[in-house]
């Protein structure tokens, strides 16, 4: 099977649909991760958000641009999730959508730049850096991996696969970290030894992208 | 999990229906999820809006009314509300003099309120934000998310609310709120975890002889786990944490709040208050005003938080000012 | 057992110290174990005295103040006070117009208050007793101890208290209390047991999927054990028990009290209130006044009681009359 | 060992002291019995009451009449116990004391009559009858047994032993009863199958009497 060469509106919709399915499947695991070092709502929040995204995209009907799909998805997350992840994921997808602009189909380089804009939006809004034990610790290697693959001549498909793997590695690396941002930071040293829930959901987002373009 | 609910998804909606039925003095928009006073904001009065995750009742909805909040935005359980709610609230209650957002310092609340403030400014509503961060259990630093907002939220909402009622400007009301926050310190101890409807089981397991010390109000574990001790010692430790952070000299006055986290009987809260009073008396600090009860809760968590606010004439006047809300009422 | 106490033996003493420190408007005699208003009874005003086992806070101490009780006598946890306390209270608050004892119908309370009434009469104080027995979960009969007094106690204390404040005679104030009791019915459901400090473990074990239906406020098992159900169905059953016992016709008005038993979050109480309002709306019964919160508790028990009082103009006037106590305050 | 022929002030004190020791020993059992069909305070209440009785008797110093000892004991119970058992046991012991009058030492017949007055005080105050599953179900056979033994020429010692045994039998008989008085009555049929706590403490009172005069 050969992957897509461009991320078009249908692929963007597919990305969101697959993310919605993934967070539904993994809801309880995300909740448990959040219960350990947070307040136990991350699974429910992600499900609520991406269910709303699915509904909003269905209601919007034809959208010809992938950027429009992601802008709407981001706006919907902001309006339906709440918590830390709502504004962060919402702003990230809005930034991705905005970066895609009016391209009807985005190639690997464009998608990589757009994902970078998403990462930057999270950093700008939340003020976290790599190593703070947040979703950024999955976003940063994922985007870096994506861009690295594209720079090396990799296909969109391959880059997305690479990014998902890098996200997973980044998420794993949050386990030994002591949280400095978000709710887990209140635990100080007791936050060590747990996977960050936002990093875990970021893996699902990038895995869904890989599946959507794969 | 056993709860008096219809389904985990409907908790907030159903509770809002109950609040609407119980309080004719409030107006509840169950669709937009905004609770406001039934009466319109007086033209020229600064409006106070707060909100946060549900599960802390009576905070915030129970504090909407004359002398306190103009509107509250309840989020899902332990999940901050979304900017749309805050924007709807700001539009509903702005009386032309601007809106103060009272925000507990949690990343989620801060980010959602920040977005709402941007949207509101875009619509021509002036917004000032008062951040509440009173919990001394959390080490403060510019590199972290900072301290949590807990019991002091009630004090900020009460006294900033009074300042607004007295005709304070947007800047003045916000300054009052910030002053109350700066004067307040809190510390909480949990005897049990709590169970969110969605999770269906306790956030953490606590053995029959252990307590979580330095907890917040979202069922997160605290700073450390310790053996259960007599109330006197638990209070002594909590008071030490508070007073280390903000020493109080003999002759100073405080407003003291002993707040139940939801599952602790009032009988025990009074025992705790008695111990707080002893500690302060030994230091020569006078309890000028006090409050004992369940005000800023964490669902069914058993435990208590102690908040001390260093008071002066002005703050006491604001504290004593009339307030008429479901959960706090005097002078009316 | 984990509780915020110093020792099981000192619970009541320590809590009284806390109440004394928290409420300057009350006067607490920790030795005699009597809580009175700080101000003397107005000459000619009938005085209201109530009391019962501790563990039901804010009942009764939290209801001492203008417009409600003149004195409260707290017993040990779940143990009625002794006649000496009631006699001391009666002597302290008699304003020459006599004293009404508000007594929940439990053998212990009834016998101790009866003895106290005899002693008081011997000392020249006229006493009338109002017995509260509103709990429809208990079958009433002349051969048994009869129904328990639960949530209606608050209503009786409020409205008889107002009648006394309005200048009613001893007979009139007692008659008001009896009328409120006769108009009131309650039913309670427990999701958990409660733990007395002395026993150290729950009065009964309740599996994770079962509830006790028709419980009282002392941790006794209820009439039956059933599977947990959505709040809507639990309320429907409780309302059926109440309305079977005292049918309400369309157009009638009630004062509705949704009361937490101590361990249930306010969020859930509002959900229950919403369901109560739906049931009454479907019957065409109007909720004229309402109260949602923890008022007549059973230590840390999770659960709820529903009380309906059939109201008329006179009762509503008494309900709306000013009250200024730690736990109930309006119109002042 | 031969028992006492008369219940004098010292024996009455001894009776109270032995009852105090017995309820302290059996506190947890009484509490558990009460937790099953009541509110779980009976053990603590009895201990509080008889500890107060011991203190009051010690404070009172010399008391030459057994009636005075029991009057003081009864008054102390009324003032220190609360609940149902305070007035009931308190009135019972007051009635026993009153019935002993100014006898310096009471013989079997006098003691039997006094115990009967105690039983009657309980019935008068509480309005219960035999079969209602209360302490009366132990008091009634105990007094009957006592009087029966005395009428048959038995010694004070023997009568008290007999009474204690009868109290025990009566208490056992409360197990299958459905309560009609006291807190257990709220349970209706669910009260069946449990020993009444007040009947259990009544056994301790009569066993202590037998030991005091034995
Ligand atoms: N300042 C921040 N920057 C980036 N990510 C953050 C920040 N704060 C929190 N997060 C992420 O949000 C996740 C928690 O999301 P969620 O549980 O939905 O929100 P909340 O903490 O408000 O309950 C964390 O696991 C972390 O990855
Ligand atoms: N009306 C009554 N007559 C006689 N005995 C009674 C009556 N009501 C209760 N009792 C006795 O009192 C005992 C309970 O005593 P206790 O637990 O101390 O009081 P309470 O029920 O007030 O908690 C019951 O086991 C029963 O034997
Ligand atoms: Mg969370
Ligand atoms: Mg949250
Ligand atoms: Mg009792
Ligand atoms: Mg008992």
Give residue-wise pLDDT tens across range B144-173: 889 999 999 999 999 999 999 999 999 999
Measured N-to-C along each axis, helices B11-22 and C266-283 cross at an angle, to the nearest 10 degrees, of: 60
| For testing contact with chain B, the best of C2, C4, C197 (most B CBs within 10 A) | C4
For B287, the enclosing helix (H) or strand (E) is: strand B286-293
Place of tokens 């309305």: C243
Range of weakest confidence among B83-87, C58-62, D169-173, D183-187? D183-187
pLDDT score at B1: 85
Domain count along chain C:
2
C75–chain B Cβ distance below 8 A for any pair: no
CB-based contact C81:C103 (threshold 8 Å): no
Annotated active-site residue B218? The verdict is yes
Cα angle vertex C74, ends C177, D42, to 5°? 110
Is C150 found in the same domain as C24? yes
Residue C142 has pLDDT above 80, yes or no: no
C190–chain B Cβ distance below 8 A for any pair: no
- Average pLDDT over all residues of chain C: 96
Tell me the shortest Cα–Cα distance from B56 to chain A, in angstroms. Answer: 13
Last residue of a domain, one of C167, C200, C222: C167
Tell me the shortest Cα–Cα distance from D173 to chain C, in angstroms. Answer: 19
Alpha helical stretches, state H, chain B: 11-22, 83-93, 107-122, 152-165, 170-182, 231-245, 266-283, 313-320
Per the structure block, which two tokens stand in for D193? Answer: 């199958």
pLDDT score at A146: 98
Is B188 found in the same domain as B163? no
Residue A22 has pLDDT above 80, yes or no: yes
C106–chain D Cβ distance below 8 A for any pair: yes
Q: Is residue C229 part of a domain?
A: yes
Question: Closest ligand to B203 CA?
Answer: 3
Q: Is residue C175 part of a domain?
A: no
Q: Is residue C5 part of a domain?
A: no
Q: How far away, in angstroms, is B5 Cα from ligand 5 center?
A: 32
Cα angle vertex C75, ends C70, C78, to 5°? 125
- Residue B326 φ then ψ, to 5°: -55, -40
Annotated active-site residue B23? The verdict is no
Rounded Cα distance, C33 and C112, in Å: 15
Mean pLDDT confidence for B109-127: 97
Per the structure block, which two tokens stand in for C173? Answer: 């104030």
Rounded Cα distance, C160 and C68, in Å: 7
| CATH number for the domain that contains residue C285 | 3.30.1180.20
Is C269 found in the same domain as C315? yes
Rounded Cα distance, B21 and C307, in Å: 16
- Residue C202 φ then ψ, to 5°: -55, 145
Q: Which atom of ligand 1 is nearest to the CA of A126?
A: 1
- Give the Cβ contact number of residue C316 at 10 Å: 15
- Residue B188 φ then ψ, to 5°: -130, 150
pLDDT tier at D93, thresholds 50, 70, 90: very high
Is B196 found in the same domain as B86? no
pLDDT score at B221: 81
pLDDT score at C203: 82
pLDDT score at D12: 98
Residue C195 DSSP one-character state: B
Q: Is residue D86 part of a domain?
A: yes
Q: Is residue D198 part of a domain?
A: yes
pLDDT score at C223: 85
From first CA to last CA, the distance across chain A in angstroms is: 8
Is B214 found in the same domain as B258? yes
Is C282 found in the same domain as C212? yes
The predicted-structure confidence for C9-32, as pLDDT tens digits, reads as follows 999 999 999 999 999 999 999 999
Mean pLDDT confidence for B11-23: 98
Residue D11 has pLDDT above 70, yes or no: yes
Residue A141 has pLDDT above 60, yes or no: yes
Q: Is residue B198 part of a domain?
A: yes
Residue A1 has pLDDT above 60, yes or no: no
Is C139 found in the same domain as C15? yes
Atom 7 in ligand 2: which residue has the minimum CA distance?
Answer: D182
Cβ contact (<8 Å) for A187 and B223?
yes
Q: Measured over all CA atoms, what is the biggest interatomic distance in chain A, rounded to whole angstroms?
A: 49
Q: Is residue D2 part of a domain?
A: no
Q: Is residue C46 part of a domain?
A: yes
**Gyration radius of chain C over CA positions:** 19
Residue C3 has pLDDT above 80, yes or no: yes
Cα angle vertex B250, ends B244, B254, to 5°? 70
Per the structure block, which two tokens stand in for C160? Answer: 């008889």
Q: Is residue C6 part of a domain?
A: no
Q: Is residue D78 part of a domain?
A: yes
- Average pLDDT over all residues of chain D: 96
Tell me the shortest Cα–Cα distance from D129 to chain C, in angstroms. Answer: 10
C134–chain D Cβ distance below 8 A for any pair: no
Range of weakest confidence among A126-130, B89-93, C202-206? C202-206
pLDDT score at B142: 73
Is B210 found in the same domain as B102? no
Tell me the shortest Cα–Cα distance from A87 to chain B, in angstroms. Answer: 6
CB-based contact B46:B98 (threshold 8 Å): yes
| For testing contact with chain C, the best of B16, B200, B233, B266 (most C CBs within 10 A) | B266
Rounded Cα distance, C162 and C309, in Å: 16
| CATH number for the domain that contains residue B38 | 3.40.50.10440
CB-based contact B179:B203 (threshold 8 Å): no
Last residue of a domain, one of C133, C167, C201: C167
The predicted-structure confidence for D100-135, as pLDDT tens digits, reads as follows 999 999 999 999 999 999 999 999 999 999 999 999
C240–chain D Cβ distance below 8 A for any pair: no
Last residue of a domain, one of C132, C167, C202: C167
- Give the Cβ contact number of residue B151 at 10 Å: 28
pLDDT score at D47: 97
Residue C197's nearest CA partner among D40, B113, A154 is D40
CB-based contact B24:B16 (threshold 8 Å): no
Is C160 found in the same domain as C75? yes
Question: pTM of the full predicted structure?
Answer: 0.96
| pLDDT above 70 coverage of chain A, percent | 100
Per the structure block, which two tokens stand in for A48? Answer: 């609520």
pLDDT tier at D76, thresholds 50, 70, 90: very high
Q: Is residue A169 part of a domain?
A: yes
Q: What is the ipTM of this complex?
A: 0.95
B323–chain C Cβ distance below 8 A for any pair: no
pLDDT score at B332: 84
Q: Which atom of ligand 2 is nearest to the CA of D86?
A: 18
Mean pLDDT confidence for B243-264: 97
- The Cα-based distances of A85 to A45, A138, A143, B203, B212 in angstroms read 8, 14, 18, 19, 26
Q: Which residues of A touch B75 (CB under 8 A)?
A: 82-83
Measured N-to-C along each axis, helices D42-60 and D9-25 cross at an angle, to the nearest 10 degrees, of: 150
Cβ contact (<8 Å) for A81 and B75?
no
What is the distance of C-alpha B270 from the center of its chain? 20
pLDDT score at B298: 97
| CATH number for the domain that contains residue A97 | 1.25.40.340
CB-based contact A182:A134 (threshold 8 Å): yes
Mean pLDDT confidence for B288-293: 98
Out of D47, D198, D204, mutate this one to test ligand 2's pocket (max ligand atoms within 8 Å of CB): namely D198
Atom 15 in ligand 1: which residue has the minimum CA distance?
Answer: A85
The predicted-structure confidence for C222-264, as pLDDT tens digits, reads as follows 889 999 999 999 999 999 999 999 999 999 999 999 999 999 9
Cβ contact (<8 Å) for C81 and D186?
no
Alpha helical stretches, state H, chain A: 9-25, 27-37, 42-60, 66-80, 85-100, 108-126, 136-151, 156-173, 197-213
CB-based contact C298:C262 (threshold 8 Å): yes
The predicted-structure confidence for D148-161, as pLDDT tens digits, reads as follows 999 999 999 999 99
Q: Is residue C15 part of a domain?
A: yes
Q: What is the DSSP string of B104-124?
A: ES-HHHHHHHHHHHHHHHHTT
Residues C276, C279, C281, C283, Cα dihedral to 10°: -140
Per the structure block, which two tokens stand in for D180? Answer: 């009609």
Mean pLDDT confidence for C65-87: 97
Cβ contact (<8 Å) for C76 and D48?
yes
Supply the range of the domain harboring residue B51: 11-167
From first CA to last CA, the distance across chain B in angstroms is: 41
Beta bridge partners of D213: none
- The Cα-based distances of B332 to B324, C331, D111 in angstroms read 7, 6, 66
pLDDT score at C261: 98
Buried b (16+ CB within 10 A) or exposed e, C147-156: bbbbbbbbbb
pLDDT score at C219: 87
Q: Which atom of ligand 2 is nearest to the CA of D199?
A: 27
Is B130 found in the same domain as B240? no
Per the structure block, which two tokens stand in for C150? Answer: 């639960």
CB-based contact B191:B303 (threshold 8 Å): yes
Q: Is residue A1 part of a domain?
A: no
Rounded Cα distance, B119 and B125, in Å: 9
Range of weakest confidence among A113-122, B120-129, B143-152, D195-204? B143-152
pLDDT score at D16: 98
pLDDT tier at C143, thresholds 50, 70, 90: confident
What is the distance of C-alpha B238 from the center of its chain? 18
Place of tokens 């009613």: C168
| For testing contact with chain B, the best of C15, C18, C305 (most B CBs within 10 A) | C18
Q: Is residue B72 part of a domain?
A: yes
- Three-class SS state of B288: strand
CB-based contact C267:B297 (threshold 8 Å): no
Q: Is residue A144 part of a domain?
A: yes
Beta bridge partners of C104: C132
Range of weakest confidence among A13-22, D168-177, D180-189? D180-189
Rounded Cα distance, C143 and C67, in Å: 36
Strands C99-104 and C184-190: unpaired
Q: Is residue D189 part of a domain?
A: yes
Supply the range of the domain harboring residue D207: 7-213
Q: Do chains D and C touch (3 or more CB pairs under 8 A)?
A: yes
Domain count along chain A:
1
pLDDT score at B201: 86
Rounded Cα distance, D160 and C195, in Å: 38
Q: Ligand 1 in contact with A42 (CB < 6 A)? A: yes
pLDDT score at B143: 79
Mean pLDDT confidence for A167-188: 95
| Catalytic-role residue among C33, C37, C45, C56 | C56
Rounded Cα distance, C60 and C63, in Å: 5
Residue D1 has pLDDT above 60, yes or no: no
pLDDT score at C93: 98
Cβ contact (<8 Å) for B234 and C14?
no
| Catalytic-role residue among C161, C218, C263, C294 | C218
Residue C69 has pLDDT above 90, yes or no: yes
Per the structure block, which two tokens stand in for A174? Answer: 């949050």
Mean pLDDT confidence for D32-44: 92
pLDDT tier at B140, thresholds 50, 70, 90: confident
pLDDT score at C205: 87
Q: Ligand 2 in contact with D181 (CB < 6 A)? A: yes
CA dihedral over D120, D122, D128, D133, signed as positive or negative: negative
User: Residue D165 class from Cβ within 10 Å (0-12 exposed, 13-18 middle, 19+ buried)?
Assistant: middle
- Three-class SS state of B232: helix
Is B212 found in the same domain as B133? no
CB-based contact B125:B99 (threshold 8 Å): yes
Q: Which residues of C touch B11 (CB under 8 A)?
A: 267, 271
CB-based contact A58:A86 (threshold 8 Å): no
- The Cα-based distances of C287 to A99, C147, C177, C234 in angstroms read 56, 25, 21, 20
Place of tokens 């009366």: D136
Q: What is the DSSP string of D147-200?
A: HHHHHTT--HHHHHHHHHHHHHHHHHHTTTPPP-SSGGGGGGGGGTTS--HHHH
């Amino acid at each position: 099977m050969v992957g897509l060469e461009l991320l078009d509106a249908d692929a963007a919709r597919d990305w969101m649909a697959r993310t919605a399915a993934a967070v539904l499947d993994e809801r309880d695991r995300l909740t448990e991760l959040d219960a350990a070092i947070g307040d136990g709502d991350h699974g429910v929040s992600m499900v609520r958000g991406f269910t709303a995204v699915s509904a909003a995209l269905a209601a919007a009907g034809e959208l010809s641009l992938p950027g429009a799909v992601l802008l709407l998805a981001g706006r919907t997350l902001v309006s339906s999730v709440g918590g830390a992840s709502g504004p962060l994921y919402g702003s990230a997808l809005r930034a991705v959508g905005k970066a895609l602009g009016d391209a009807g189909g985005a190639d690997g380089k464009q998608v990589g730049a757009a994902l970078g804009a998403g990462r930057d939006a999270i950093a700008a809004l939340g003020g976290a850096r790599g190593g703070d034990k947040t979703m950024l610790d999955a976003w940063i290697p994922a985007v870096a991996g994506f861009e690295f693959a594209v720079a090396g001549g990799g296909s969109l498909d391959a880059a997305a696969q690479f990014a998902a793997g890098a996200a997973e590695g980044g998420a794993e690396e949050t386990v030994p970290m002591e949280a400095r941002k978000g709710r887990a930071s209140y635990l100080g040293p007791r936050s060590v030894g747990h996977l960050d829930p936002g990093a875990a959901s970021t893996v699902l987002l990038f895995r869904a992208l890989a599946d959507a373009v794969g | 999990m056993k709860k008096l609910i219809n389904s985990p998804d409907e908790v907030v909606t159903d509770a809002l229906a109950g609040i609407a039925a119980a309080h004719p003095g409030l107006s509840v928009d169950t669709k937009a999820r905004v609770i406001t006073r039934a009466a319109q904001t007086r033209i020229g009065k600064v409006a106070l809006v707060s909100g946060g995750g549900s599960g802390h009742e009576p905070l915030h909805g129970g504090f909407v009314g004359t002398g306190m909040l103009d509107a509250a935005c309840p989020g899902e359980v332990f999940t901050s509300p979304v900017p749309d709610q805050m924007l709807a609230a700001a539009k509903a209650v702005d009386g032309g003099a601007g809106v103060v957002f009272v925000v507990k310092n949690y990343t989620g609340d801060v980010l959602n309120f920040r977005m709402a403030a941007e949207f509101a400014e875009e619509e021509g509503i002036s917004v000032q934000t008062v951040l509440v961060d009173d919990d001394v259990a959390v080490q403060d630093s510019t590199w972290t998310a900072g301290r949590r907002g807990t019991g002091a939220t009630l004090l900020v909402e009460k006294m900033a609310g009074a300042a607004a009622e007295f005709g304070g400007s947007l800047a003045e009301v916000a300054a009052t709120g910030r002053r109350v926050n700066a004067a307040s310190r809190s510390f909480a101890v949990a005897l049990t975890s709590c169970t969110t409807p969605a999770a269906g089981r306790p956030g953490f397991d606590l053995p029959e002889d252990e307590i979580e010390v330095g907890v917040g109000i979202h069922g997160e574990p605290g700073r450390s786990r310790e053996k259960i001790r007599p109330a006197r010692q638990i209070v002594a430790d909590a008071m030490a944490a508070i007073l280390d952070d903000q020493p109080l000299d003999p002759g100073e006055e405080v407003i003291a709040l002993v707040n139940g986290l939801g599952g602790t009987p009032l009988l025990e809260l009074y025992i705790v208050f008695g111990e707080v009073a002893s500690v302060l008396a030994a230091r020569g600090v006078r309890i000028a005003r006090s409050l004992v009860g369940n005000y800023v809760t964490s669902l069914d968590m058993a435990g208590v938080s102690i908040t001390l606010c260093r008071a002066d004439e002005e703050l006491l006047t604001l504290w004593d000012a009339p307030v008429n809300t479901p959960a706090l009422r005097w002078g009316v």
